[in-house]
């Protein structure tokens, strides 16, 4: 990957590119040329370029660096993970038989508290970022911990690695263990401001890294803390992330802790937190009136299907949310979610929607196009960056991955039966009635990627035009 201090060269991305046009439709362009300028922005995009030399000459880009796809490769927008706890990365896959509230006490708080040590944090955060980049995550909304130094370090490491990120210092002054708890609302706000100041000092325009206000969830925040975070949101206009209605026990607890409020969503609304800049993770057990309130406030939802299955939290009714016009993206929710891979989140969104469909009817099923939209364009809207990322259009930034579906040379592929990940291959010309040579459509190749792919298929990753990962 390219270090941050090396200036970018103009680059041409030549060949097949695929991105999400609408929720229902992929835009597939086989003979494309995308010109990315020295600021990492898409300067032009040609759909039917017969001759690349003519295109470069027409734009005066003869000196540009060229990256070409081969026949089984395509450029795809980078994934946007709208909810991930970087601090819980070492626990990915460890949750036993627990559900949310005992999972927090058994696994999560002890691990997060250990990140008070910045050396521990450095190891955890470095690995989390290089791993998520290798899976094609170009933007992530991160929860860190309540420790300022290690949270600031997470921001530093993201900036260094070139990953676009929202970094949240986790606020929690209630119902948390003594060894891992904010001592007061005032202290939580002061620490949050320290992290905001730090990020401002390393990335003054928030061009790559932005702070995000992070009340852990209503049960771990006192009313004064929620109130102060609402004020801070109003004065800074910073985005906010939290959890909502993930688990039935949690919903009951919120009812008990906030008896004056009519619903979980209304608790956040009461404190001025339920705005268009709020990312709500999970949103499984919402009433219709809560859904309508979320829609009215234009708050966004991060659907975390792998986590919701792992912690047996429930099946989020994504179709029901989308039908009401709410903006939805996807989150890995490591380590409630067992995998840092957004491709896994995309796949699980498809499968969970099928489980919901078995109860609620076929309309609940999400298509491949829909789950990929949620993982890219939907996520861009959730984090408020839909004008800059999520798809390939002139003026957007080049946050992309090169996906390859041939693991072995094409000639050998036909004999290679035990392919472990997504693979597209040509079959020998058929002697039977149907010639199946070149049989897969691009839509089918993409479906194979979604259901069988992993990080071996992610060959290169760029953020804002900079190469941030290359498969060795
Ligand atoms: N609710 C409060 N904290 C957490 C957390 O760390 N993970 C998940 N999935 N839900 C939460
Ligand atoms: Fe979470």
Model pLDDT, residue 429: 67
Kindly report the pTM of this predicted structure. Answer: 0.96
Sheet holding 164-168, edge to edge: 79-85, 137-143, 164-168, 209-211
- Label the pairing between strands 214-215 and 170-171: parallel
Report how far apart, in Å, the C-alpha atoms of 329 and of each of 42, 395, 403 are: 24, 22, 21
CA 233 to chain centre: 22
Q: Which domains does the chain have, with CATH numbers?
A: 1-77+392-472 (2.30.40.10), 79-382 (3.20.20.140)
> 406 vs 188, which has greater pLDDT?
188
Question: What is the 424 CA–ligand 2 centroid distance (Å)?
Answer: 35
Average pLDDT for 29-40: 97
Nearest CA to ligand 1 atom 7: 336
Does residue 462 contact residue 136 with C-beta atoms inside 8 Å? no
Average pLDDT for 427-437: 60
Contacts of 367 (CB under 8 A, 6+ apart): 24, 350
Q: How many residues does the chain have?
A: 472
State whether residue 219 is helix, strand or coil: helix
Nearest ligand atom owner, CA of 220:
1
Q: Residue 20's pLDDT band (boundaries 50, 70, 90)?
A: very high
Which token pair is 197? 């100041």
ipTM: 0.99
State whether residue 466 is helix, strand or coil: strand
Question: What is the 243 CA–ligand 1 centroid distance (Å)?
Answer: 7
State whether residue 26 is helix, strand or coil: strand
Question: What is the 101 CA–ligand 2 centroid distance (Å)?
Answer: 12
Q: Residue 3's pLDDT band (boundaries 50, 70, 90)?
A: confident
Q: Residue 419's pLDDT band (boundaries 50, 70, 90)?
A: very low
Nearest ligand atom owner, CA of 307:
1
Ligand 1 pocket list (CB less than 6 A): 85, 100, 104, 108, 216-217, 243, 246, 307, 333, 336
Model pLDDT, residue 411: 45
- Which one of 181, 336, 337, 339 would you pick to mutate in the ligand 1 pocket, going by the greatest count of ligand atoms within 8 A of its CB? 336
Residue 200 neighbours by CB distance under 10 Å: 14
Q: Residue 190's pLDDT band (boundaries 50, 70, 90)?
A: very high
Closest atom, ligand 1, to C-alpha of 311: 9
Question: What is the 56 CA–ligand 2 centroid distance (Å)?
Answer: 46
Q: Residue 431's pLDDT band (boundaries 50, 70, 90)?
A: low
Question: What is the 16 CA–ligand 1 centroid distance (Å)?
Answer: 39
Q: Strands (DSSP E) along 251-399, which ranges?
A: 278-282, 300-303, 328-330
Question: What is the 342 CA–ligand 2 centroid distance (Å)?
Answer: 14
Q: Maximum CA pair distance of the chain?
A: 76
Tens of pLDDT, residues 49-106: 888 889 999 999 999 999 999 988 999 999 999 999 999 999 999 999 999 999 999 9
Sheet holding 240-244, edge to edge: 240-244, 278-282, 300-303, 328-330
Which token pair is 247? 């688990």
- Which one of 95, 99, 100, 105 would you pick to mutate in the ligand 1 pocket, going by the greatest count of ligand atoms within 8 A of its CB? 100
> In angstroms, rounded to a whole number, what is the distance separating the alpha carbons of residues 377 and 182?
35
Model pLDDT, residue 423: 81
Closest atom, ligand 1, to C-alpha of 143: 6
Model pLDDT, residue 416: 42
Closest atom, ligand 1, to C-alpha of 337: 9
**Confidence check: pLDDT of 462 > 60:** yes
- Residue identified by tokens 């050396």 is 119
Q: Is 131 left (phi over 0), alpha (psi -120 to 50) or beta?
A: alpha
The pair phi, psi for residue 300, each rounded to 5°, is: -105, 155
Question: What is the 77 CA–ligand 2 centroid distance (Å)?
Answer: 24
DSSP bridge partners of 454 = none
Closest atom, ligand 1, to C-alpha of 304: 9
């Amino acid at each position: 990957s390219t270090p941050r201090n090396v200036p970018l060269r103009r680059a041409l991305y030549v060949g097949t590119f695929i991105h999400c046009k609408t929720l229902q439709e992929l835009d597939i362009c086989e003979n494309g040329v995308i010109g990315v300028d020295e600021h990492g922005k898409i300067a032009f995009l040609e759909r039917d370029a017969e001759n690349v030399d003519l295109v470069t000459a027409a734009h005066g880009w003869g000196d540009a660096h060229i990256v070409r796809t081969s026949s089984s490769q395509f450029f795809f927008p980078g994934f946007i993970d709208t909810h991930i706890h970087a601090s819980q990365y070492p626990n990915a896959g460890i949750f036993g038989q627990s559900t949310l509230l005992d999972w927090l006490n058994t696994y999560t708080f002890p691990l997060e508290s250990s990140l008070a040590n910045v050396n521990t944090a450095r190891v955890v955060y470095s690995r989390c970022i290089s791993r998520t980049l290798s899976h094609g995550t170009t933007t992530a909304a991160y929860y860190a911990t309540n420790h300022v130094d290690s949270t600031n370090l997470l921001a530093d490491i993201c900036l260094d690695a070139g990953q676009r990120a929202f970094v949240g210092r986790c606020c929690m002054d209630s119902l948390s263990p003594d060894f891992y708890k904010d001592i007061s609302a005032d202290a939580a706000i002061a620490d949050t401001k320290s992290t905001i100041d730090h990020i401002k000092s390393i990335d003054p325009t928030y061009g790559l890294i932005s702070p995000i206000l992070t009340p852990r969830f209503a049960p771990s925040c006192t009313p004064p803390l929620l109130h102060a975070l609402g004020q801070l949101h109003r004065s800074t206009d910073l985005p906010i992330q939290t959890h909502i209605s993930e688990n039935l026990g949690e919903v009951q607890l919120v009812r008990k802790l906030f008896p004056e409020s009519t619903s979980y969503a209304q608790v956040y609304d009461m404190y001025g937190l339920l705005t268009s800049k709020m990312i709500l993770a999970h949103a499984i057990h919402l009433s219709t009136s809560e859904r309508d309130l979320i829609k009215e406030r234009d708050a966004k939802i991060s659907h975390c299907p792998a986590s919701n299955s792992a912690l047996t939290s429930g099946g989020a009714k994504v179709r029901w949310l989308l039908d009401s016009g709410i903006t939805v993206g996807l989150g890995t929710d490591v380590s409630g979610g067992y995998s840092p891979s957004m491709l896994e989140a995309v796949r699980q969104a498809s499968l969970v929607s099928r489980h919901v469909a078995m109860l609620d009817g076929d309309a609940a099923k999400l298509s491949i196009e829909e789950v990929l939209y949620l993982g890219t364009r939907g996520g861009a809207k959730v984090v408020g960056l839909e004008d800059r990322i999520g798809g390939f259009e002139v003026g957007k930034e080049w946050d992309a991955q090169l996906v390859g579906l041939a693991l072995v040379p094409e000639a050998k592929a036909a004999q290679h039966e035990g392919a472990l990940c997504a693979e597209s291959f040509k079959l020998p010309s058929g002697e039977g009635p149907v010639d199946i040579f070149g049989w897969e459509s691009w839509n089918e190749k993409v479906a194979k990627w979604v259901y069988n792919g992993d990080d071996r298929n992610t060959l290169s990753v760029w953020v804002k035009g900079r190469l941030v990962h290359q498969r060795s």
